[in-house]
Amino acid sequence: MKVGLGYDVHRLVEDRKLILGGIEIPHEKGLLGHSDADVLLHAIKDAILGAAALGDIGKHFPDTNEKYKDADSLKLLEEVTNLINKKGYMVNNIDATIIAEKPKMAPYIEIMRENIARVLDVSVEQVNIKATTTEGLGFVGSGEGIAAQAIASIVIK
């Protein structure tokens, strides 16, 4: 078994959709980024790539490439899954944390888990997502951004 760690953060801005875990969440602001800025999926992709020693999402999906402008992070997660499958690996487990003051994530977590499990071709029981706040501290607490952390384990098929 191999293990990788991922982390991502994006700024919250007006006139953008808030996409997390592949779903649109109603909120007055969205995350700024070259792609859909889904911090949760970005952290998960980095964790999986790290476990397979394949670099990071910047290497595979650079923000200098217009092909990835407004890209759907679920589709990019599918590409990451294909990359590790070609190396003979499959995802064993994902554990991720969304760090956001608002909005509340609890109503959306099960749908996120289902989306991620479907794309990774694993059971929902192999994908865990949690959410926490920073109790008003820092850029997350002041509503300036959202962060996510993830750890992934992969095994030989």
Burial of 135 (0-12, 13-18, 19+ CB in 10 A): exposed
pLDDT for res 144: 98
Helix axes 73-86, 109-120, angle to 10 degrees: 40
Q: Where are the domains of the chain?
A: 2-156
- Which stretches in the chain have pLDDT values below 50? none
Q: Is 28 annotated as belonging to a binding site?
A: no
CATH class of 2-156: alpha beta
Q: Is 109 annotated as belonging to a binding site?
A: no
**Taking Cα atoms as reference points, which of 58, 143, 56 lies closest to residue 99?**
143
pLDDT for res 23: 97
Q: Quick: pLDDT tens for 128-146.
A: 999 999 999 999 999 999 9
pLDDT for res 129: 98
Q: Is 125 annotated as belonging to a binding site?
A: no
Could you tell me which residues come within 8 angstroms of residue 11 by beta carbon, excluding any fewer than 6 positions away? 31, 32, 144, 145
Q: Is 100 annotated as belonging to a binding site?
A: yes
Q: Is 62 annotated as belonging to a binding site?
A: yes
pLDDT for res 156: 96
Q: Is 152 annotated as belonging to a binding site?
A: no
Could you tell me which residues come within 8 angstroms of residue 115 by beta carbon, excluding any fewer than 6 positions away? 21, 22, 23, 74
pLDDT for res 7: 98
Question: What does the angle CA 146 – CA 10 – CA 89 come to, to the nearest 5 degrees?
Answer: 95
Q: Is 37 annotated as belonging to a binding site?
A: no
Q: Is 73 annotated as belonging to a binding site?
A: no
pLDDT for res 96: 98
Q: Is 102 annotated as belonging to a binding site?
A: yes
Global pTM reads 0.97
